[in-house]
Amino acid sequence: MTVTTNHTGISNRLLDLVPAAPAQQSRKDFTSDQEVRWCPGCGDYAILATVQGFLPELGVARENIAFISGIGCSSRFPYYLQTYGMHSIHGRAPAIATGLATSRPDLSVWVVTGDGDALSIGGNHLLHALRRNVNLKILMFNNRIYGLTKGQYSPTSEVGKITKSTPFGSLDRPYNPVSLAIGAEATFVGRSIDSDRAHLTSVLRAAAEHPGTAFVEIFQNCNIFNDGAFDTLKDRSSRDDVTLKLAHGEPLVFGAEGDKAIRRADDGSLEVVPAGSPGVLVHDATATDPSQSFALSRLTGDTHGVTPIGIFRDVDAPTYDEALNTQISDARARQGEGDLMSLISGGETWTID
Amino acid sequence: MSEQVRERETRRLDRVVVRFAGDSGDGMQLTGEQFTSETATFGNDLSTLPDFPAEIRAPAGTPAGVSGFQLHFSDHDILTPGDAPDVLVAMNPAALKANLKDLPPGANLIVNTDAFTGGNLKKAGYATDPLTDGTLDPYLVHRVPLTSMTINAVHAAEGTGSAVNKKEAERAKNMFALGLMSWLYHRPTEGTVGFLEKKFAKRPEIAAANIAAFRAGFNYGETTESFTVTYEVAPARMRSGTYRRITGNLALSYGLIAAGELTGLPVFLGSYPITPASDILHELSKHKRFGVRTFQAEDEIAGIGAALGASFGGSLGITTTSGPGVALKSETIGLAVSLELPLVIVDIQRGGPSTGLPTKTEQADLLQAMFGRNGEAPVPIVAPRSPGDCFDAAVEAARLATKYRTPVFLLSDGYLANGSEPWLLPRREELPDLTVAFTTEPNHTGPKGPEFWPYLRDPETLARPWAVPGTPGLEHRIGGIEKSDGQGNISYDPANHDRMVRLRAAKVAGIANDIPPLEVEDPSGQARVLVLGWGSTYGPIAAGCRRVRAKGLHVAQAHLRHLNPFPANTGEILRSYDKVLIPEMNLGQLRTLIRAEFLVDAIGYNQVRGLPFKAAELAGVLEDVINQ
């Protein structure tokens, strides 16, 4: 297979193994003929439009892109993209995608999952995909509710959530997906919002440029079962005051007037202080040590009045698939291609005439 | 070596069964393996049965911690590891206690007298010393102070004595036992010396200690007066060709690598460690130069998931496990049925249910393989009959998986996995060509021009096209939701679902036309009783049949390799006998299938003791059924 460098700005050592598109592709090239069947008003529509709009930017041949999903509303995503795709079973998409990505370095493999799919039934697979650093881009749509099963609380629902399965309020504490991913030592962790197309595109681009597992949490509104979950981050009047847009190398400053900033408190956690205070931190997504990224992930609207979005962490590390494929090429370089008949006749043999 | 070498009688035997038994830390498996290796080199036919506890180091000195290795070797072709040992080597009281019940009166018994201390006797549960209380009167007992003689031999050896401590010297006692047994049965010894030098290449002093112990054991036999007879078993007359000794798991591993080469697909194994299947993961992980990718997953589900993902990408996806792992993989197997992608699921069966008997054998996953999924989810099943046959069965499973785009079960078991036999190496030209052709062109013309329909089937095999990512113009989406016949889009149409369920069933059922007919062995042609088996019971059943035929009785034997679907002539054969007997290491799972499918009222013989059937046991059952 001929591999040529793609013709856009997106590139990394693994994406360069994927054949380039022969010509400029458009959003239409990535739109399948299937009727989209999410509820009217669902945040998934906006994410789909953004992804379809972004994929041409990858510059790789459409047939070398694969989307793997699990079960849930978000997991219908692959049907609407004119790429290779698999709508698999609940929670298992990271495992299936690991086999595909590891055996086919010439593919760009994406996983689409939700908060229930990724963090509940498939929690183990997510953790291990992140730990191994397989070359996957994992997009987790977080609507903080179970939509497809019609409205039970999810592992990201707030405590006390009244749902069909918790009429007296949910009891378990929610996961913070970004904290979880950084805790699992993911090499790329980002967060964006369904309705902010420009920001989401920038995070997808950074994820695509990352060689290895990229985990992207996308806040997604379920207008049927959990409407308005992210309204404070979307409302024009409030959003600038409660959203910290992370930018690598820039001071951690936010607010409509740029009047608030982040610095380290005495106990090592982060705190919100007036801009201009001494000790305001500069964001470093590439720091090998994940401590500051993790501390950033602990900032939430409920606890600190601010929610960071953007790239929390983006560090270069060996990937599982590269390492495995290198073991194979090294073995072949050292010992030559395997010969079946000499393998099976190895060990002690004897001949009877 | 003694100055005087006494004249001794050498007795010629046609077959011998030996058993080594000791603590699980005593190296009994290695001892048995090495004695087997010497025996294979000598040219006997052989069959082995390792038997060990699930615990790595079960409580030392207790019957629960006893590890055993039985070898049957002969000058003619044999089918089983033997019913009862002719000689038992017992390294301690617990090994004696655990194995004595299997030893027939008059058999040779070699005991390590050094281990018969008060403490060890107590741990073994002996109130009095069996060496002196008459327990051993029925046997030909050889009392050997194995431990002390080993330590003396190691310390006396030149250049070794000072380099190893007492404990290291003592650990060589299994080699002393091996040396003694090698002398008693006239085994060639060069291989063992070479083996020890290689195994301990990094610690030459340990190699020297073990070799010293091995030689001391051999020389002890030569000088002691305890043995008045030695035994010879002439090489067997076997089919011409080149042989090696092989265990089922190794043969199965080689079969999977061969399947990769024969199909032209890279092998991808997704697996999670589980007894008794882990050795396949270990073996395949060595062969990177064959392009074999092994992935030790976080759990059983991820193991099969990754394998299925690799199949989607055009690899030969394989997962290896045992019964508990199959339970976890069930949902993904169902997905593979729905996606219609090739996948080989290797189940090395062990005693169940639940954790059951991890290191013991059983055949009780047949119905799980057959039915253990939601919905109508048929999966072909292939079962090997002997350790060497695991190679061919693996190739066959891959053939069906790739040709019919389906998951296939390969049902081996703990007995085949760890047991070994001489294996006539296949020649390259005897192996089938399984080349797989991916679909690269559209297969349908729609209103807007050429299209790719992922579920447009081959009219003969009913297999769907396999178009892998990277193929331009054939981009498509597949999933576990029901698909429209042909086009493959999501469909909830009632008639379509009924059609798709029937198509998937017909595809698997149609394999019956693509497998050899069931063969019957009935030398006299007068049998009215057919004994039907599957999997690892082949050897004991065939040995049982030989015994009853030797008495002038008539019995026919047939053995199933394909359990779903059955060979096309199965019903006809079953109905042509007055009685059908089905021995199984379960409570009647094949019998259930046979009765349901063919309305044949087969008789079951069922044991679930974690051990293979004995030939004498089956011969008795056969006689009863024939004479009833």
Residues B138-172: pLDDT tens digits?
999 999 999 999 999 998 886 665 678 888 899 99
Count how many Cα atoms sit within 13 Å of the Cα of residue A191 in the half-sphere of its side chain.
25
Question: Which one of B305, B315, B331 has the shortest CB-CB distance to A103?
Answer: B315
Span B208-225, mean pLDDT? 94
Residue B291 has pLDDT above 90, yes or no: yes
Any B CB within 8 A of A164 CB: no
pLDDT for B623 equals 97
Span B475-502, mean pLDDT? 98
Any B CB within 8 A of A342 CB: no
- Per-residue exposure over B443-456, b if at least 16 CB sit within 10 Å of its own CB, e if not: beeeeeeebbbbbb
Residue B233 has pLDDT above 90, yes or no: yes
Residue B1 has pLDDT above 60, yes or no: no
Query: Is A68–B293 a contact, with Cβ atoms under 8 angstroms apart?
Result: no
Tell me B523's DSSP state: T
In which order are the strands placed within the sheet that holds B420-424? Answer: A349-352, B241-247, B420-424
Any B CB within 8 A of A73 CB: no
Backbone angles phi, psi at B53, to 5 degrees: -75, 165
B416 closest CA partner among B385, B395, B462, B382: B385
**Rounded to whole angstroms, how far apart are CA atoms B315 and A237?**
53
Nearest CA in chain B to A67: B477
| A257 Cα to chain B: minimum distance (Å) | 48
* C-alpha pair distances (Å), A228 with each of A47, A49, A223, A233, A303: 16, 20, 7, 10, 19
Query: Is A86–B238 a contact, with Cβ atoms under 8 angstroms apart?
Result: no
| B313 Cα to chain A: minimum distance (Å) | 6
Nearest CA in chain B to A325: B293
- Three-state DSSP class for residue B279: helix
Question: Which one of A87, A100, A349 has the shortest CB-CB distance to B477?
Answer: A87
Query: Is A124–B480 a contact, with Cβ atoms under 8 angstroms apart?
Result: no
Query: Is B268–A103 a contact, with Cβ atoms under 8 angstroms apart?
Result: yes
**Rounded to whole angstroms, how far apart are CA atoms B447 and A118?**
39
Which of B285, B477, B478, B491 would best serve as a mutation to test chain A binding (most A beta carbons within 10 A)? B477
Span B410-434, mean pLDDT? 96
pLDDT for A352 equals 84
Query: Is B293–A102 a contact, with Cβ atoms under 8 angstroms apart?
Result: yes
pLDDT for A4 equals 47
**Rounded to whole angstroms, how far apart are CA atoms B465 and B476?**
12
Query: Is B425–A100 a contact, with Cβ atoms under 8 angstroms apart?
Result: no
Query: Is A79–B479 a contact, with Cβ atoms under 8 angstroms apart?
Result: yes
Residue B93 has pLDDT above 60, yes or no: yes
Length of chain A: 353
Query: Is A98–B309 a contact, with Cβ atoms under 8 angstroms apart?
Result: yes
Segment 258-287 of chain A within 8 Å of chain B by CB: none
Which of B448, B451, B475 would best serve as a mutation to test chain A binding (most A beta carbons within 10 A)? B475
Residue B408 has pLDDT above 70, yes or no: yes
Residue A258 Ramachandran class (φ > 0 left, ψ -120 to 50 alpha, else beta) = left
Q: How many A-B residue pairs are in contact by the CB < 8 A criterion?
A: 209
Question: Which one of A84, A99, A340 has the shortest CB-CB distance to B307?
Answer: A99
pLDDT for B56 equals 77
Give the CA diameter of chain B.
Answer: 99
Which of B289, B427, B441 would best serve as a mutation to test chain A binding (most A beta carbons within 10 A)? B289
Question: Which one of B240, B270, B477 has the shortest CB-CB distance to A352?
Answer: B240
Any B CB within 8 A of A333 CB: no
What confidence category does residue B54 fall into, taking pLDDT thresholds of 50, 70 and 90? confident
Any B CB within 8 A of A135 CB: no
Nearest CA in chain A to B43: A350
Span B237-265, mean pLDDT? 96
One-letter amino acid at A328 equals: I
**Rounded to whole angstroms, how far apart are CA atoms A191 and B578?**
73
Query: Is B310–A349 a contact, with Cβ atoms under 8 angstroms apart?
Result: no
Which of B46, B271, B312, B476 would best serve as a mutation to test chain A binding (most A beta carbons within 10 A)? B312
Query: Is A350–B43 a contact, with Cβ atoms under 8 angstroms apart?
Result: yes
Query: Is A124–B474 a contact, with Cβ atoms under 8 angstroms apart?
Result: no
pLDDT for B164 equals 86
Q: Identify which has the larger pLDDT, A9 or B88.
A: B88
pLDDT for B161 equals 56
Q: What is the pLDDT along chain A (353 residues), one digit of tens a residue?
A: 344 444 467 889 999 999 999 999 999 999 999 999 999 999 999 999 999 999 999 999 999 999 999 999 999 999 999 999 999 999 999 999 999 999 999 999 999 999 999 999 999 999 999 999 999 999 999 999 999 999 999 999 999 999 999 999 999 999 999 999 999 999 999 999 999 999 999 999 999 999 999 999 999 999 999 999 999 999 999 999 999 999 999 999 999 999 999 999 999 999 999 999 999 999 999 999 999 999 999 999 999 999 999 999 999 999 999 999 999 999 999 999 999 999 999 888 888 88
Give the contacts of B610 (CB within 8 A, at least 6 positions apart).
Answer: B351, B357, B360, B361, B362
Any B CB within 8 A of A350 CB: yes
Q: pLDDT tens for residues B606-621?
A: 999 999 999 999 999 9
pLDDT for A7 equals 46
Query: Is A338–B291 a contact, with Cβ atoms under 8 angstroms apart?
Result: yes
pLDDT for A348 equals 82
Residue B571 has pLDDT above 60, yes or no: yes
Question: Which one of A83, A100, A332 has the shortest CB-CB distance to B313?
Answer: A100
Cβ-defined contacts of A26-31 (< 8 Å, 24+): A26/A56, A27/A52, A27/A53, A27/A55, A27/A56, A29/A56, A29/A62, A29/A82, A30/A55, A30/A56, A30/A62, A30/A81, A30/A82, A30/A83, A31/A80, A31/A81, A31/A82
Nearest CA in chain B to A69: B479
Segment 22-51 of chain A within 8 Å of chain B by CB: 32, 34
pLDDT for A213 equals 98
In which order are the strands placed within the sheet that holds A260-264? Answer: A253-254, A260-264, A270-274
Residue B267 has pLDDT above 50, yes or no: yes
pLDDT for A90 equals 98
Query: Is B43–A352 a contact, with Cβ atoms under 8 angstroms apart?
Result: yes
| B160 Cα to chain A: minimum distance (Å) | 29
| B153 Cα to chain A: minimum distance (Å) | 29
| B312 Cα to chain A: minimum distance (Å) | 7
Residue A91 Ramachandran class (φ > 0 left, ψ -120 to 50 alpha, else beta) = left
Span B31-48, mean pLDDT? 93
**Residues of A in Cβ contact (< 8 Å) with B331:** 89, 92
Query: Is B293–A337 a contact, with Cβ atoms under 8 angstroms apart?
Result: no
Q: pLDDT tens for residues B377-401?
A: 999 999 999 999 999 999 999 999 9
Tell me A262's DSSP state: E
Give the rounded distance of the alpha carbon of A46 from its chain centre. Answer: 17
| B37 Cα to chain A: minimum distance (Å) | 8
| B272 Cα to chain A: minimum distance (Å) | 13
Which of A60, A113, A127, A344 would best serve as a mutation to test chain B binding (most B beta carbons within 10 A)? A344
Q: What's the whole-number average pLDDT of chain B?
A: 95
Q: pLDDT tens for residues A107-133?
A: 999 999 999 999 999 999 999 999 999
Any B CB within 8 A of A104 CB: yes
pLDDT for B160 equals 61
Cβ–Cβ under 8 Å, residues B400 and B378: no
Tell me B258's DSSP state: H
Backbone angles phi, psi at A111, to 5 degrees: -115, 130
Query: Is A63–B472 a contact, with Cβ atoms under 8 angstroms apart?
Result: yes
**Residues of B in Cβ contact (< 8 Å) with A328:** 288-289, 291, 293
